[in-house]
Structure 1
């Protein structure tokens, strides 16, 4: 059984997928399988990926019967995996040769952790370090953005992924949602950054019409996470998070009014109201 299942989901990435695949196969860590699931591409993506399957026995390529969409396809890829760890690599990104080696070493140092995330450095501890559910939530909501990481920045223990049900598929920012779900039940390992190159290009999918809509979606996920029955925060800590969020969005509301951006101001006001359940829950 491979220790790591590297998972790539693809849709119309003929211009980039070869580089993504070759970066995985060039890994200095060799105990992995590589699963590629094409979501009914209309270009040559599937054929390009399929050719690699004949060259390297670690590569397995599938194509869905119908287009599933981003996060449902990520779950589909995980369903084929046999590894202890799941490592996603987007079909237009590149994994550095040392990526898997670093991530696996970090996770094995903390065998109880369910998730590893490339994180901002901590002046109090070298990498790797570990956060408990409570310390991770406190750090994320009161200090730094710990969980706002793309799939390429993460490595996931397979049993933790299964325990929370994988990606919900209901939101466009399902990675952030999944990290919060896992972090409520498992320790999280903080790992060095820049192990994967996040390619920027004209074909890069844009999930949001504007930053405010993105922020509103994130806030909905945050509120649900803190309101969850298994949230590791105390009542007073939940109230503190709610107060901090409410203050931030109130300031944003005022700034947008002053600038005459009425639509943005109304959305900021809506986000202020979205924080109310945190206070009601705390009280």
Structure 2
């Protein structure tokens, strides 16, 4: 195996297990690993795989022109064991057969309801409209081209029940490009828990997102506290939500298991609307400004965290111009397409 191929394979493994956003940012983090440690670690022998009660999890699925994927996404939510599921499909004025498929799914299962937008609102406002229908204790935003893995919601509820201060849980998303989704991988499941302030500080230190979205689940009482997605943001509204939640609650991760399957395909929004580096960087600056001018302002070190985030983004801008990293990027070639938007883990 050549040195380049070995590095490429290691990068694939790293981005699937470590939350890095953006090509050059991914390489920089790969070359300089984080020493970020959880506040609490729960080993596999103590981490529960299912809760001792049935909680209701609401899954909001915004859908625009993804009617051909919609049945799979909905089935992956409805087939979750050990939890009650509410599915809310928001048809964002899709010109394809989304409306008919969504209505058919709702007619065949009382757990599914559909919101039809009269005009196309965009994915952020569409999700927020579905959010207003949520009745569950916990919340998942699932894009119509992605899927939840079996048992993912039960694993998350068990962790929520063990740590009442946790408002956000995420895990590993398995990325795939095949027509048929692969099975979710399950290892010896353990938990990592951070204080929200510690987790947010790491986001400021790195300046990048660490959750793709389908593998994340939120406690609705915390969402009610911090509010819906910020419609001022076009690309990084999910990152801003995670940071807002971390400003008021703890954050946890389910390790050694795929919590969701993220479909990478040519028609995806990240492939077609993923912003150029300078636009992406500017949007992430807005993320931290929004967080620390909102709920994050109450943190005792808010000013220093905001300054650190901007310093991190300034460093990333300089790295983007680094000849060394550009040489690595050229060697990795198509591997960077795999990490071009937001690949999850920590």
TM-score normalised per structure 1 = 0.78
- How far is the alpha carbon of 1:163 from its aligned partner? 1.2
Q: Which residue of 2 aligns with 1:128?
A: 191
Distance 1:40 1:236 in 2: 43
Distance 2:55 2:115 in 1: 18
Give the paired residue count: 252
In structure 2, the CA distance between the partners of 1:236 and 1:177, relative to structure 1 (3 Å rule), is closer
Distance 2:310 2:278 in 1: 19
Distance 1:236 1:70 in 2: 32
RMSD (Å), alpha carbons = 2.8
Contact 1:184 1:232 in 2 (8 A): no
Q: Give the match's secondary structure for 1:229.
A: helix
Q: Which moved further from structure 2: 208-217 or 197-206?
A: 208-217
Q: Which runs of 5+ in 2 are unaligned?
A: 1-53, 174-188, 328-346
Write the mapping of 1:7-26 to structure 2, written as runs, cut at 5 A: 7-26=60-79
Distance 1:232 1:137 in 2: 13
Distance 1:169 1:207 in 2: 16
- How far is the alpha carbon of 1:92 from its aligned partner? 0.8
1:114 equivalent among 153, 167, 190: 167
Q: Which residue of 2 aligns with 1:199?
A: 263
1:139 equivalent among 183, 188, 202: 202
Are 2:244 and 1:181 equivalent residues in the alignment? yes
In structure 2, the CA distance between the partners of 1:56 and 1:223, relative to structure 1 (3 Å rule), is same
Contact 1:39 1:67 in 2 (8 A): yes
Q: Which residue of 2 aligns with 1:105?
A: 158
Considering Cα pairs closer than 8 Å and 6+ residues apart, tell me whether 1 or 2 has the greater RCO. 2
Q: Which residue of 2 aligns with 1:50?
A: 103
Are 2:217 and 1:164 equivalent residues in the alignment? no
In structure 2, the CA distance between the partners of 1:174 and 1:241, relative to structure 1 (3 Å rule), is closer
TM-score normalised per structure 2 = 0.65
- How far is the alpha carbon of 1:208 from its aligned partner? 2.8
Q: Which residue of 1 aligns with 2:5?
A: none
Deviations 1:181-230 (CA, angstroms, capped at 9, x unpaired): 11111111222352111112221113234233212211331344356522
Distance 1:171 1:214 in 2: 11
Q: Give the match's secondary structure for 2:124.
A: helix
Contact 1:133 1:232 in 2 (8 A): no
